[in-house]
């Protein structure tokens, strides 16, 4: 998809702001080599680098990578699709903030690439939209699209349940150490038209197919439909549901589990 790089970092800066605690879960150590997968404009990469790790930001969008490089001189960035990127060395960790749910073509392929990039024992730490993410926003959008006779817009996300993602990680060669599925109502930091702005940024591809004269009425209807659930006195709140995980790449050829009378703790 094409990302509106300039709007991305302003009204929706909360995507990056919410990454702050994730860096603590990742716990980068000085000298570690860490990939930030789906790095966008590199805000999370910079947080990782501040802890003394060597970071490589990878993103599928050339515009994002150009912006990341401009904003973070001294850090390394590369264009790459998470489904088939390759690295010439192995890494101590792969981290990803708010990006895995955009990688919809084949989640198992993404996990396989992460596995290949990590040394045995390496960490895979991430936060993505989980099942139920943005449910109110999505229903408002789908309803408005139908009201205007436009059919269903194609949703560009993958919001897995914790059970589903844990299974993918386990089957992909990881041991899951932590998995949280939590509501994270998040204040949209700008504008009285929160739901409309959200659709403009995140559903730009679907909006591009809407006849130009219908765009504003359509967005107005989305605002009307979403407001009762999401507009507060303090502003618009996005109904985020986050899936946060920390997993470790299993050692190659892991020894079979010990059995016998002394196997229990």
Ligand X SMILES: C[S@@+](CC[C@H](N)C(=O)[O-])C[C@H]1O[C@@H](n2cnc3c(N)ncnc32)[C@H](O)[C@@H]1O
Please report the DSSP string for 225-250 in residue order: HHHHHHEETTEEEEEEEEEEEEEEEP
Q: How far apart are CB 171 and ligand X at their closest, in Å?
A: 20
The verdict on 173 binding ligand X (CB under 6 A) reads no
Contacts of 102 (CB under 8 A, 6+ apart): 1, 38, 156, 157, 158
**235: buried, middle or exposed (CB in 10 Å: 19+, 13-18, 0-12)?**
middle
The verdict on 98 binding ligand X (CB under 6 A) reads yes
The verdict on 102 binding ligand X (CB under 6 A) reads yes
Show the CA angle centred on residue 76, arms to residues 71 and 78, nearest 5°. 100
The verdict on 97 binding ligand X (CB under 6 A) reads yes
The verdict on 240 binding ligand X (CB under 6 A) reads no
Extract the tokens encoding 75.
Answer: 């850090």
Q: Binding segment for ligand X among 78-86, 170-178, 190-198, 255-263 (CB under 6 A)?
A: 78-86
Q: How far apart are CB 71 and ligand X at their closest, in Å?
A: 11
Nearer to ligand X, 126 or 153 (CB): 126
Site size toward ligand X (CB under 6 A) is 21
In the complex, which residue's CB is closest to ligand X? 40
Position among 32, 59, 197, 239 found at the interface with ligand X (CB under 6 A): 59
Q: Binding segment for ligand X among 80-88, 147-155, 163-171, 226-234 (CB under 6 A)?
A: 80-88
Nearest to 30 by CA among 4, 55, 61, 58: 55
Phi, psi of 220 (to 5 degrees): -60, -40
> Cα dihedral sign for 166, 54, 38, 244?
positive
The verdict on 225 binding ligand X (CB under 6 A) reads no
Strand partners, 241: 183
The verdict on 64 binding ligand X (CB under 6 A) reads yes
The verdict on 245 binding ligand X (CB under 6 A) reads no
Q: Binding segment for ligand X among 24-32, 54-62, 167-175, 235-243 (CB under 6 A)?
A: 54-62
The verdict on 3 binding ligand X (CB under 6 A) reads yes
DSSP helix/strand/coil, 27 = coil
DSSP helix/strand/coil, 199 = helix
The verdict on 103 binding ligand X (CB under 6 A) reads yes
The verdict on 19 binding ligand X (CB under 6 A) reads yes
DSSP helix/strand/coil, 21 = helix
Q: Binding segment for ligand X among 98-106, 134-142, 166-174, 192-200 (CB under 6 A)?
A: 98-106
The verdict on 28 binding ligand X (CB under 6 A) reads no
d(CA 126, CA 215): 35
**Residues forming the site for ligand X (CB under 6 A):** 3, 15-16, 19, 38-40, 43-44, 59-61, 64, 81-83, 97-99, 102-103
């Amino acid at each position: 998809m094409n990302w509106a790089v300039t709007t991305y970092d302003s009204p929706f800066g909360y995507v990056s702001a919410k990454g702050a605690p994730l860096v603590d879960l990742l716990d980068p150590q000085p000298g570690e080599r860490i990939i930030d997968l789906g790095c966008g404009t590199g805000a999370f990469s910079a947080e990782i680098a501040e802890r003394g790790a060597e970071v490589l930001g990878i993103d599928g969008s050339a515009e994002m990578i150009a912006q990341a490089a401009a904003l973070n001189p001294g850090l390394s960035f590369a264009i790459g699709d998470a489904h088939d990127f390759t690295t010439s060395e192995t890494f101590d960790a792969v981290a990803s903030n708010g990006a895995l749910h955009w990688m919809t073509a084949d989640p198992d392929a993404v996990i396989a690439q992460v596995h290949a990039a990590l040394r045995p024992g390496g960490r895979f730490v991430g936060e993505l939209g989980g099942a139920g993410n943005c449910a109110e926003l999505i229903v408002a959008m789908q309803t408005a699209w139908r009201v205007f006779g436009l059919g269903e817009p194609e949703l560009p996300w993958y919001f897995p349940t914790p059970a589903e993602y844990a299974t993918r990680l386990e089957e992909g060669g990881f041991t899951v150490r932590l998995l949280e599925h939590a509501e994270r109502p998040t204040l949209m930091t700008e504008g009285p038209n929160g739901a409309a702005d959200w659709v403009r940024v995140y559903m730009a591809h679907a909006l591009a197919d809407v006849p130009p004269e219908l765009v504003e009425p359509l967005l107005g209807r989305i605002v009307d439909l979403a407001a009762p659930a999401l507009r507060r006195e303090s502003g618009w709140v996005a109904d985020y549901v986050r899936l946060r995980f920390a997993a470790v790449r299993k050692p190659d050829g892991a020894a079979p589990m010990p059995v016998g009378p002394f196997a229990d703790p």
